[in-house]
Structure 1
Amino acid sequence: MSNTIAGFSKLGKEQKIEWLTSHYFADPNAAATILKQYWNDDAALQKLHDEFIENTVSNFYLPLGVAPGFVINGKEYVLPMAVEESSVVAAAARSAKFWAKRGGFKATVISTEKIGQVHFLYKGDAAKLQAFFDAIKSAFFTSTEDLTKNMQKRGGGILDIELRDKTTLLPNYYQLHATFETVDSMGANFINSCLEQFANTLKAQALGYDAFTECEQHIEVIMSILSNYVPNCVVRAEVSCPVSDLNDDKNIKPEDFAQKFVTAVQVAQVEPFRAVTHNKGIMNGIDAVVVATGNDFRAVEAGVHAYAAKDGQYRSLSHAKIEDGIFTFWLDVPLALGTVGGLTTLHPLVKLCLEMLGNPSAKELMQFVAVAGLAQNFAAVRSLTTTGIQQGHMKMHLMNILNQLGANDLEKHAAVKHFETATVSHSGVADFIEELRKNDPTKIEEDFLR
């Protein structure tokens, strides 16, 4: 029997759940109960969440944590982080504490340029197309005045428009390549609206251009869309201190740690297999703050990874060096973020997170996000080059394993105490809980109360 349904989006939420659970779950009632458990008790708040997307049946929660003690450009912040991976927030907080004693993080916005393109086909003489573009370029600005006037009042707008010949890549393929400043908004809707008007202006002006043949007048616009690759919307985050100050680990000399750390980053510069995992660690921090502040982590991910491969090979986003006895670790990353528009004004937790950060401008948020990525990367590389990544990671993962095993509070307490000195593994924890359950439960309770 077919499970196809017409008009699903027009059903009420209860009807959607009833249809979904009856067709795709062995126990429809149990599945429906779980979906409804995650509804918000506040009907107005739930309605707000329902309207973020189409076909909402429930809410999918991520933990919202905070990493305190971040000193950034001389001021202390608490960074909000929405993420499910167990060690991310703890690692960020450790890095914050480590560098707060050594001058903190420095962050600088290098540039804020966004990009959009009109992709079109033109079957004619390239020189004539260039002359046509030069003649009508001002029309692109005048035809979008209604769209740009408010953005211009805030200090943004269209920066420039270029004609780009891409016919060596694809026959008859050209672009209008436009750059924008969108100030505190991410700017996707603004940019796309401008681009669509550019496309209309391009086609209309071509029809009246006398130097074109009839064939050349019919320019075919394929699409008009912003780019999430923003190599000129870049922020730098940096830490530095004398090598002698890298003395927190008594098991390794500061000089040896610094050199090993620098070499590990160099490995990620030249080895793509390592670079991907290295950068994934950076994105653990970046994505967590991006999600918490209501920005588009998918756009950020796509742009960042393209930037990591900008010279033709995928490389580490971070860099490290030792010069004149000074250890420096830094990160350049493209981030197109906004603090107005979208979820930033709709999602109650997003508004709280932005307030926690002092209601930052988009430039300030870029700095916070980049610092989160650098902090995460420092924690990971530090662990990898000293104790190994699993020791700390599995300690943080212990509670997840205990929850999977259905451990109660007393069993969790006993396990946490036991694994302070034992190696954490899923099988090891399972064996410990199984053995624990064979013993007298009153003994566990007595240990807990001590």
Structure 2
Amino acid sequence: MIEPISGFSKLNKEEKIDWVASHYCQNKTQAKKIIKTYWNTNSSLQQLHDEFIENTLTNLYLPLGIAPNFLINGKLVAIPMAIEESSVVAAASKAAKFWLKRGGFKAQVLGTEKIGQVHFLYMGNYKKLKSFFTFLKPKLLADSASLTSSMEKRGGGITDIILKNKTEKLANYYQLHATFETKNAMGANFINSCLEQFATTLKAEATKYGDFTAQEKDIEVIMSILSNYVPNCTVRAEVSCPIEELKLTPELTPQHTAEKIIQAVKIAQIEPYRAVTHNKGIMNGVDAVVLATGNDFRAVEAGIHAYAAKNGTYSSLTHAKIDHGIFTFSIELPLALGTVGGLTNLHPLVKLNLEILQNPSAEELMQIIAVAGLAQNFAAVSSLVTTGIQKGHMKMHLLNILNQLGASEIEKDILVAYFKTNTITHHEVELQLQTLRK
């Protein structure tokens, strides 16, 4: 039976690896070998990676690919994508190439407002709290001035603070609801520092406020934290072309193709079971670029999925229509991103990826990532309504299957050629490999 360990974080890396391998791995020697195989041979670079998080053992690599030929607002962009799933980069590249000849992608940022909240309990008269807030607001701004001065020089800062009464949902619950502009920074640390100062000022001023009773002065701050739901930090991207240019397959006319795509999107708008998978395909593109540029994909995921349910039911993030003979496919996403701070200044590959993207501002990166999600969704929906999703996906997945089965390079060449004209399944690949070896 494995006993709990005390002081694990104080062990050096070798000791941590030895403990994990000894207690949790069947072959200790093999486990340690695998862990060390993924260390970077550059010791300084490995130390940099070790210090990103706590209790680091090694690195888990994801493939970093490039999807070229994205024409975005008239500018040609090659998009770095970090992802493990087969066919994502290929699908994005295919969509980019298709729309390159049809005017490319148009994108615009609709807003950049970030949100943070101080959640607190107040036992007393709401009218008195409102009067107190009128007195408090200038002090909140004054007390946080030292935190906001640098951001304000860059054109950002606190844009507003309002008092929200949430007592209908939870007894005695109120918020200081603050909005921020953080320019090229994602801004989480900046926002949280401001909010914690707000909380300190709130409690201190409440104890001195003459119109409060003793109970009303005893405001309890529950927590101070930014929100990853950013419905006013959004970007829109779209592609469009005359219907007759939407020739994707010999089996369907462009008109029929457009109508099927529109119906597929409508199904995702009304059917949550389909919408989740539909939007997951969008996130294949979004997350891959978010990861490649050192941004927080968990925050992006949470915010986007909340946005997809903003009308009370989970729904498609993309839209499709025909208007006067023009087919339009579009997306609207909330994206809180940064191109300065965090990993963007630390991770050498992240810095290189941002350079490949021509060092975009945060707003430009919002546009690029929205386009990546739109391209991915167009590729997926187009395949679904024409040839089916498996044909292209399994073609790209074939090498993964062959590697799992330990195929040699010669065997791979033979079987890749064979499956160009035959249906790919794991069982069939295994069968053909066995036949070949006989």
Query: Does the alignment reach a TM-score above 0.5?
Result: yes
Q: Deviations over 1:343-395 (max 9, x none)?
A: 00000000000000011100000000000000000000000000000111111
Give the structure 2 partner of residue 216 of structure 1.
Answer: 216
SS of residue in 1 equivalent to 2:98? helix
CA distance in 2, matches of 1:350, 1:203: 41
Q: Give the 5 Å matches for 1:19-418.
A: 19-418=19-418
Q: How far off its partner does 1:3 sit?
A: 2.6
SS of residue in 1 equivalent to 2:184? coil
User: Counterpart amino acid of 2:61?
Assistant: Y
CA distance in 1, matches of 2:248, 2:195: 53
Q: How far off its partner does 1:136 sit?
A: 1.5
User: Counterpart amino acid of 1:128?
Assistant: K
Q: How far off its partner does 1:249 sit?
A: 1.9
SS of residue in 1 equivalent to 2:179? strand
User: Counterpart amino acid of 2:52?
Assistant: F
Q: How far off its partner does 1:2 sit?
A: 3.6
User: Counterpart amino acid of 1:276?
Assistant: V
Q: How far off its partner does 1:7 sit?
A: 0.8
Q: How far off its partner does 1:247 sit?
A: 1.7
Structure 1 unpaired stretches of 5+: 439-450
CA distance in 2, matches of 1:316, 1:122: 39
CA distance in 2, matches of 1:80, 1:239: 21
User: Counterpart amino acid of 2:420?
Assistant: E
- Contact preservation (8 Å) 1:115, 1:178: yes
Q: Deviations over 1:394-435 (max 9, x none)?
A: 111100000000000000000100000000000000000000
CA distance in 2, matches of 1:299, 1:75: 28
SS of residue in 2 equivalent to 1:421? coil
Q: How far off its partner does 1:298 sit?
A: 0.2
Structure 2 unpaired stretches of 5+: none
CA distance in 2, matches of 1:140, 1:283: 38
CA distance in 1, matches of 2:136, 2:228: 27
User: Counterpart amino acid of 1:55?
Assistant: N
User: Counterpart amino acid of 2:288?
Assistant: A
Q: How far off its partner does 1:189 sit?
A: 0.1
Give the structure 2 partner of residue 422 of structure 1.
Answer: 422
SS of residue in 2 equivalent to 1:161? strand
Please identify, of 247-256 and 166-175, the stretch whose mean Cα deviation from structure 2 is larger: 247-256
SS of residue in 2 equivalent to 1:116? strand
User: Counterpart amino acid of 1:13?
Assistant: K
CA distance in 1, matches of 2:229, 2:190: 17
CA distance in 1, matches of 2:248, 2:273: 30
Q: How far off its partner does 1:96 sit?
A: 0.2
Q: How far off its partner does 1:60 sit?
A: 0.2
SS of residue in 2 equivalent to 1:354? helix
CA distance in 1, matches of 2:308, 2:248: 31
CA distance in 2, matches of 1:51, 1:249: 51
CA distance in 1, matches of 2:394, 2:124: 63
Give the structure 2 partner of residue 443 of structure 1.
Answer: none
CA distance in 2, matches of 1:247, 1:378: 14
- Contact preservation (8 Å) 2:117, 2:226: yes
CA distance in 1, matches of 2:362, 2:303: 17
User: Counterpart amino acid of 1:140?
Assistant: L
Give the structure 1 partner of residue 15 of structure 2.
Answer: 15
CA distance in 2, matches of 1:391, 1:317: 25
Q: How far off its partner does 1:254 sit?
A: 0.3
User: Counterpart amino acid of 1:391?
Assistant: K
CA distance in 2, matches of 1:10, 1:270: 52
- Contact preservation (8 Å) 2:244, 2:255: yes
CA distance in 1, matches of 2:135, 2:282: 46
Q: How far off its partner does 1:135 sit?
A: 1.4
SS of residue in 2 equivalent to 1:142? helix
- Contact preservation (8 Å) 1:3, 1:23: no
Identity level (%): 66
Runs of 4+ in structure 1 over 2 Å off: none
- Contact preservation (8 Å) 1:185, 1:340: yes
Q: How far off its partner does 1:248 sit?
A: 3.6
- Contact preservation (8 Å) 2:69, 2:78: yes
User: Counterpart amino acid of 1:350?
Assistant: V
CA distance in 2, matches of 1:247, 1:207: 70
SS of residue in 1 equivalent to 2:222? strand
CA distance in 2, matches of 1:246, 1:120: 55
Give the structure 1 partner of residue 3 of structure 2.
Answer: 3
Q: How far off its partner does 1:166 sit?
A: 0.3
